[in-house]
Amino acid sequence: MTRRGLSQSEIARRLGISRQAVNQLAQSIPNKMTAALYDASKLNRVEPRTIDTARGVLVGWSNEFQTDVVITLNPKAGLRVWYQHNIGRCTICPDKKQCRSSLLENAKEYGVSLTALERNLDPSKLSSIIFSRLLAPDSVKK
């Protein structure tokens, strides 16, 4: 609700709880988000590089696949681990249609804008574009 721009007072009204309760819960979110993202990176053998708890994004490196990895956590999509595809060969995802759909959903969720032409690219090329924009130095906080 905070990500959608609702104030703590509005959240409290919608949930039928006090604003102080919302404030206390909101203060615990960064620690819980950090713990969940680090646990996901450990389980997937991903070496964390940067983390943005406000957006629920951990960026890391997979030695196993020799590629960049983005782990996202949000209420709508849950926990997702996505590996950057190698250009020209989409071997990580066997279903290219589902892969493209998932990439587009994540791009939208994290504010990565794409042209109509880019949306129809092969998942490996689409992944490369999304990763480059998502991993731009000003898009992910340390």
Class of residue 139 by CB neighbours under 10 A (exposed 0-12, middle 13-18, buried 19+) = middle
Within a domain: 139: no
The domain containing residue 112 runs over which residues?
8-134
Q: Amino acid identity, residue 52? A: D
Q: Into how many domains does the chain fold?
A: 1
Task: Grade residue 137 by pLDDT with cuts at 50, 70 and 90.
Answer: low
- Of the candidate ranges 29-43, 67-81, 90-104, 119-133, the one whose mean pLDDT is the lowest: 90-104
Within a domain: 3: no
What pLDDT sits at residue 141?
42
- The C-alpha atoms of residue 89 and residue 64 are separated, in whole angstroms, by 17
Measured CA to CA in angstroms, residue 104 lies from 28, 45, 64, 109 at distances of 30, 25, 25, 9
Mean pLDDT along residues 65-87: 81
